[in-house]
Structure 1
Amino acid sequence: MHKLQHKELADKYMLRILRSLTDPELSNLLRRYGQKSRGVSRHDKIAFVMHAGIPVSNILLRDIFEATDNQGQRKDRVKLLMEDLGLNVSRLGTTLENRVSILMESIKSNAEAEFELLSVSGFKELIDSLSDTIPPVLERLRDEFEIEESEDLEPERLRALGISPLDILYVYTNDEVKAIRDAMGLPKRNNPRLAILNSFASANDKLLEHYELLASRDLAGLQAVGISIKEAEIGAKFEEITKTIFEQLGLKVDEELRKQVSTKKDRPDVILSLGDEDVIIGEVKSYKNGDFAKYSSTSRQVKSYVNRCEGNGNRVSQVLIVSPGFSPDFIESAEMDTEVNISLLESAGLKKILEAYKARRKPKFSARLLTKGGLLKSDLIAKSI
């Protein structure tokens, strides 16, 4: 579509570039096309350029500069723009034309990496934190990307629409982003958008580091390591960080499918897509005292989820239950259940598997390792990676 419209960059990338320009540069740009710039707001300047169909290459090669600016000054400005946009480039290019071309290719090729900046849970945290802005973040996204009101904008749906965490922060003006950064108490050096994203990534890393405390609902232990959390939030956080672990193991956490098969009564915690309509249903149980022992109620839950998935045309390869520990009766009941295949995995074991995965230079992990049934031996799985 962009090629048919003769667009060098998608509109969202154009917006990033324009928001990184100074007011005098935007004024130069407007005057180049016969528009008045005096008394025109920054918002209106950007809006004009966005709808004028001006090629990005023209803007960066010529339109933002004063007539007296030489080639060296123009090259330096494009280099600074790359830094402002957070682009890591292996080479700068010797000519201005090279440099502009590298900038445009880099901003397009970084699209996939942007989705790796935050996990699903970190993505959700970012959206939740911006819900109090005026207008709220989802309203801004619907307006900016022309998304219908009927669309439920969960993180996985935003990913499917090609909207990254960085795209979300670019629907805010530079001044708004700086105000959000300051309200979060973040340092004022470096790129404010990247600082905000890194803060959510760091918070997620800390929860992951203390995953066992989440699993066992150890509120005092979490607070002792500097994690501010309410007891009512622990279960949801445990679920979110478990999804993060699966993602880091290279598994596909399918939020879109989970939404399709969920009802008000039945909502599986995790669905892992294996391809060819095969899935693993994950149930995540944080538990405060001792080993988890509620097999009858848990089995009713997961069997209901299996029926929902199979009714949707999926094949359930396995049900995986993650908990800090399981009672002997729970383990025996799971092994003897003839209606559904159930694997059990202790939370400490899941973290051990992730640590082994990260420690390998070329790790090999298959979701099939989670489908053996019964209580999984995390030590053996970790050694096989």
Structure 2
Amino acid sequence: MKLEKILANLNSFEKNSFLKIIDGILANDPQNIKEIEKILSDSSKDLKNMDNINVVRVFNLVQDEFSQCIVEEFVNTTSQLDILSDIITKDGNSIMKQDWFARLYEKELSKLDKKLKDFKKTIESGKGDVSEQRFRDYKIYRSCLSTAYNNDKDNNQERKITTDELSIILTLSQQLELSQEEIKLINYLIIPIQKQDIDMVINDLKIMGVIFYSKKTSTIYVADEVIRILRKIRGKEVADKFFRRVLRLLREPQINAICRKHQIDWRLPVDEKIKAIIRDGIKFSNVLTEDVHKDGTNVTDKKKFINELCDKGLNITPAIKGTLIDEKVNNLIKYFDEIERDEKVGISIDGYEKLLIELGEVLKTLNERLRIEFELQDEKVLKSNYLLDYNIKPRDVLEIVTGKELEEFCKIKGIKTRGDIIQNILENYKDAENLYLENYENIGFRNFNLLKENGITIKEANLGVKFEELTKTIFEQLGFNVDEPLRKKLNTTKDKADIILNIGNNELIIVECKTLKESGYNKFSSVSRQLKAYSKCVENTDYKVIKSLLISPDFSDEFIKDCGLEYELNLSLITASSLVKILEGFKNSKHKQFPHNLLMRDVLIQEDRVLKAIGK
């Protein structure tokens, strides 16, 4: 669940610990302090009194400092933050009841205790499937960790691992290519593990700002933004679902090679081996660059493998860039990160709901499989809004279904099975109009990767026109009269306004739409000339332009400043995301027509103010 939505579900007391952490960071002048001060000056200077949208904006600007606060907690050897963060960053664990979290914690400790006994026996006997080289790696890491932890005792001080020691230990583990599970096992051979009271665990995590806790409902919330930070700290480069997607494209001998290197039983069924690889925190980039390849594989063959995986296996277009292998893999990780951050689901929400209903009718065990795969505690989970709160999208659901079952489902529903069967199913459940509106901002940003991932195929030349069409649709749904005949009448061969909103009483609003490939639209002089030309076209008629609006995915600070100084146009700016949120709020309001006066006030229209006004 997104941070903004979580904050909206909580009272001020339940947000308090998180806001204290942010306040502490702000007191020490973080690197983005100037941008933060601008947000604070435009709203309340007290975080507690700020609206949730601005709190999220501030948090996004202090993520590096917030991450450092969490890293420092790993120095505390009694925090068990490695165990706890591995639990709360798993797909499906972002919203949990207290008793469910307690059960997962106990289950994790029990599994860890058993593994520790087996691991200790193996490492001390030198026997088993572990290679001589791997035994050597374990002993090196164990000796260094033991020295770091115990040297304080020799100096008659409390035993702990300092921040400097921790950074060296982390570097060592990376160079030895140890998985998170191997690191965890060796750590707890040196530092004995102790079960803690669950109320104390929750309170500690809350004080760190890692989780939110609602005492009224006994519910733990972990924001998607915090999960990404925790994963990065733990060295997990992609979400489990994306790792699973890639592993399922590998041949079984390649899966076995990964298992042998990291002491996973290669005799298990393929799905069990894939789960173990993900569960053990094996580094995604190492899997693709080293683990799947035989000793002595040359760079050319490794490049060929990664290119085929991206182009043919994952069907990513345009192709992932990168000359060097590491560049290619890093760009693949960024690609998955973009997809995860995107709130769109690949098909419309209505289409997702229909897909879940019909899948559940054909595959009777799907509900239970989803619960097990994502560790969901509710009984009935085949609901689109419920799954989206856990960031579980249609493709994620389809990827836990076997190929044979998907084929059977397609036959029953009359869906073609040739080619990419998952893509064929998603295509069948599209709702074109809703899907385009859900991807409005991506179209504005001309983001081909996300558009393709979300099931939209469109030519680059058509993106600007599609952005205009969707903007018209949004204003129509807001109850405006999008006067197309008048627009055609007023336009000349040289000057053509994108949209004319006829407010009545011969009053008009001119709307201009701009797409862009990068953040921050900054061509103010150009758009200013355009809008002045459009206004002149109206001057010799009975109509009067009372407002000009510019819609774009983003605006630079300089553009917003120049717009504020422009007095002739009465121009306001609206970002694509703000316009969509205003539409969503309008649909849930009592209004049949949007009050256009709300668009007359600000230079950059703030959706939170508009939503408060129409929500009264």
Q: TM-score, normalised by structure 2?
A: 0.34
TM-aligned CA deviation for residue 6 of structure 1:
2.6
Q: CA deviation at 1:179?
A: 4.3
Instruction: Give the Cα–Cα distance (whole angstroms) in 1 for the partners of residues 371 and 276 of structure 2.
Output: 20
The answer as to 2:69 corresponding to 1:69 is no
Q: What is the match of residue 355 of structure 2?
A: 126
Q: What does 1:93-104 align with in structure 2 at a 5 Å threshold?
A: 93-104=322-333
Partner-residue secondary structure (3-state), 1:97 = helix
Amino acid at match of 2:353: K
Shift of 1:93: 0.8
Q: Deviations over 1:52-104 (max 9, x none)?
A: 22111111111112225322221121122223224335543111111111111
Q: Distance in 1 between matches of 2:440 and 2:261?
A: 51
Q: Distance in 1 between matches of 2:592 and 2:258?
A: 66
1:317-372 CA-to-partner distances (Å, cap 9, x unmatched) read xxxxx9xxxxxxxxxxxxxxxxxxxx9899xxxxxxxxx89xx8546765498889
Matched residues in 2 for 1:49 and 1:169: separation? 20
For 1:281-320, list aligned pairs within 5 A.
none
Aligned counterpart, 2:366: 137
8 A Cα contact 1:29 1:63, kept in partner: yes
Cα 1:175–1:58 change in 2 (3 A) is farther
Candidates 404, 407, 420, aligned match of 1:191: 420
* Counterpart residue type for residue 156 of structure 1: N
Cα distance in 2 between the residues matched to 1:152 and 1:40: 29
Per the alignment, residue 21 of structure 1 pairs with 250
Q: Is the 8 A contact 2:415 2:424 kept in 1?
A: yes
State how far apart, in whole Å, the 1-side matches of 2:479 and 2:513 are: 28
Q: Is this contact kept in 2: 1:57–1:100, CA < 8 A?
A: yes
Aligned to 2:232: 3
Matched, 1:30 2:253: no
Matched, 1:110 2:328: no
Amino acid at match of 1:93: G
SS of residue in 1 equivalent to 2:301:
helix
SS in 2 for 1:20: coil
Q: Distance in 1 between matches of 2:409 and 2:343?
A: 20
Once the two structures are TM-superposed, the CA of residue 166 in structure 1 deviates from its matched residue by 1.3
Say whether residues 1:166 and 2:395 are aligned partners: yes
**Taking structure 1 as reference, are residues 81 and 184 closer, same or farther at Cα in structure 2, changes over 3 Å only?**
farther
Asked if the contact 2:255/2:274 (under 8 Å) is kept, the reply is yes
Distance in structure 2 (CA, Å) of the matches to 1:91 and 1:248: 22
Structure 2 counterpart of 1:45, one-letter code: K
CA–CA distance in 1 between the matches of 2:592 and 2:290? 66
1:82 to 299, 303, 310: 310
Aligned with residue 274 of structure 2, among 30, 33, 46: 46
Provide the residue aligned with 2:446 in structure 1. none
**C-alpha distance in 2, partners of 1:57/1:144?**
23
Q: Contact (CA 8 Å) 2:255, 2:292: kept in 1 or not?
A: yes
CA distance in 1, matches of 2:440, 2:236: 37
Relative to 1, partners in 2 of residues 1:98 and 1:145: Cα closer, same or farther, differing over 3 Å? Answer: same
- Can you give the 5+ residue segments of structure 1 that lack an aligned partner in the other structure? 209-240, 251-321, 323-342, 347-355, 377-385
Query: What residue number does 1:177 align with?
Result: 406
Corresponding residue pairs, total = 240
Partner Cα separation in structure 1 for residue 417 and residue 234 of structure 2: 39
Larger CA deviation: 163-172 vs 142-151: 142-151
CA distance in 2, matches of 1:178, 1:114: 29
- What CA distance in whole angstroms lies between the structure 1 residues aligned with 2:295 and 2:403? 27
Q: Deviations over 1:281-308 (max 9, x none)?
A: xxxxxxxxxxxxxxxxxxxxxxxxxxxx
Equivalent pair of 2:344/2:438 in contact (CA under 8 Å) = no
Q: 138, 141, 146: which is aligned to 2:375?
A: 146
TM-score (norm 1): 0.52
Give, in whole Å, the separation in 2 of the partners of 1:372 and 1:44: 52
Does structure 2 conserve the Cα–Cα contact (< 8 Å) formed by 1:9 and 1:56?
Answer: yes
**Superposition map of 1:216-231 within 5 A:** none
Tell whether the 8 Å contact from 1:130 to 1:137 is kept in structure 2 after alignment. Answer: yes
* Counterpart AA for 1:71: V
SS in 2 for 1:100: helix
Task: Return the alpha-carbon distance in structure 2 between the equivalents of residues 67 and 144 of structure 1.
Answer: 34
Tell me: CA distance 1:10–1:70, structure 2 relative to 1, closer, same or farther (3 Å): same
- Check if 1:12 corresponds to 2:12: no
Equivalents in 1 of 2:340, 2:317: separation in Å? 13
Q: Which residue of 1 aligns with 2:211?
A: none
CA contact (8 A) 1:26 1:45 kept: yes
Query: In structure 2, do the counterparts of structure 1 residues 134 and 93 end up closer, same or farther at CA, with 3 Å as the change threshold?
Result: same
The one-letter amino acid of 2:255's match is: L
Amino acid at match of 1:64: V
Change (3 A) 1:118 1:51: same
Query: Structure 1 residues 169, 62: closer, same or farther in 2, change over 3 A?
Result: same
Report the AA paired with residue 28 of structure 1: A
Preserved contact between residue 355 and residue 429 of structure 2 (Cα < 8 Å): yes
Pair 1:76–1:149, CA change in 2 (3 A): same
RMSD across aligned positions (CA): 4.0
2:284: which partner in 1? 56
Shift of 1:152: 5.5
What letter corresponds to residue 72 of structure 1 in structure 2?
Answer: T
Structure 1 residue 197: Cα displacement: 0.8
Gaps of 5+ in 2: 1-229, 442-476, 482-498, 501-511, 515-550, 552-573, 595-616
> Displacement, 1:114?
7.1
Q: 2-side partners of 1:85 and 1:197: how far apart?
A: 15
In 2, Cα distance between the equivalents of 1:369 and 1:132?
35
Output the CA distance in 2 between the equivalents of 1:17 and 1:375. Answer: 48
* 1:188 CA displacement: 3.9
Distance in structure 2 (CA, Å) of the matches to 1:123 and 1:100: 31
Whole-Å separation in 1 of the counterparts to 2:590 and 2:279: 56
1:245 to 1:369, Cα distance in 2 relative to 1, 3 A: farther
